[in-house]
Amino acid sequence: MIYRHRQQDKFILIWFAVVYVFFTIVSNKDWRYVTPLFPAVAIAAATLMISLGEKIQKEWKKPRVNIVKKHLVKVTSAILIATMAGAMVYSVHDTYSFTIKSYVNTGIKNSTIYVCNNIEENKSIMLLSPFNTFNKDMVQFFLWTESDRDTKILQYPSQAIDTYVPDFNLDEFTQQCRQNNVQYIIFNEHGGATKPYYPYDNSTLNLRQIYEQLHSSENFSKINIEQTFGDEPNRTFIISFTG
């Protein structure tokens, strides 16, 4: 792309460089943060393929081309087509393999369906200690698939715990549950609800500590099997606010 010296090519290069450099510098890294690079890479790859195709077509249409050069153009065309097909197959396979490998059954879908089927009118849902694969947007999505667009969803703390250091305040949390007429609290065991108790990111706080505070306050129900979803150590629990 550089050799063409076109304005649009420079834009693509700047797009790629800015996103790549920025997310290389930041400390909190995750593959999803570089998704803005994908369109730039796709456009660059498509531009390269089109450019090569045009060159091959130009050579083929020349009035006087010797036999060797014509065969060379055919071979080059075949290699180009095979490369494109191979890249597409590899991309699909790689994406599928990555999805299967990184898939974690947190139970958030089934827990949302349970809440949707049992929540009372004018009651709301509170997500406790949200993070990248467990947040109110995901619950909202599954509620919408169940045709529920009225139930209010909140989360505490308001920012994801894998982005900001969590600060759990029982009095504040209980007050928010009362003010927002919360019926169900949904939370994830975040890597382990039994020993060893895995702390939330950038803190010493863990699920066990939070649950003990909730239980001792007598404003929340206990964890039970019927309201437990997903696979250990990434299960999702539902408890009721009784205060």
- Encode 47-64: b = buried (16+ Cβ within 10 Å), e = exposed: beeeebeeebeeeeeeee
Residues 223 and 159 in one domain: yes
Range of the domain at 214: 108-240
Domain boundary at 80, 102, 124, which?
A: 102
Residues 98 and 112 in one domain: no
223, 177 contact by CB (below 8 A): no
Residues 114 and 222 in one domain: yes
Residues 41 and 63 in one domain: yes
Residues 227 and 123 in one domain: yes
Q: What pTM was estimated for this model as a whole?
A: 0.65
Residues 14 and 65 in one domain: yes
Query: What per-residue confidence (pLDDT) applies to 237?
Result: 93
Residues 118 and 95 in one domain: no
List Cα–Cα distances, 200 to 52, 106, 195, in angstroms: 51, 16, 14
Task: Please state whether 150 falls in left (phi above 0), alpha (psi between -120 and 50) or beta.
Answer: alpha
Query: What per-residue confidence (pLDDT) applies to 105?
Result: 77
Please tell me the total count of domains within the chain. Answer: 2
Residues 141 and 156 in one domain: yes
Query: What per-residue confidence (pLDDT) applies to 180?
Result: 95
Query: What per-residue confidence (pLDDT) applies to 220?
Result: 95
Residues 20 and 46 in one domain: yes
DSSP H or E run through 33: none
Residues 217 and 114 in one domain: yes
Closest C-alpha to 114, from 210, 206, 233, 224: 224
**Averaged pLDDT of the chain:** 82
Residues 80 and 164 in one domain: no
Domain boundary at 36, 69, 102, which?
A: 102
Domain boundary at 69, 102, 135, which?
A: 102
Q: What is the mean pLDDT of each run of 10 residues along the chain (243 residues)?
A: 65 85 74 80 81 74 67 77 83 79 80 94 93 88 91 90 80 95 91 61 77 91 92 89 90
Query: What per-residue confidence (pLDDT) applies to 139?
Result: 93
Query: What per-residue confidence (pLDDT) applies to 178?
Result: 95
N-term to C-term CA, the chain: 64
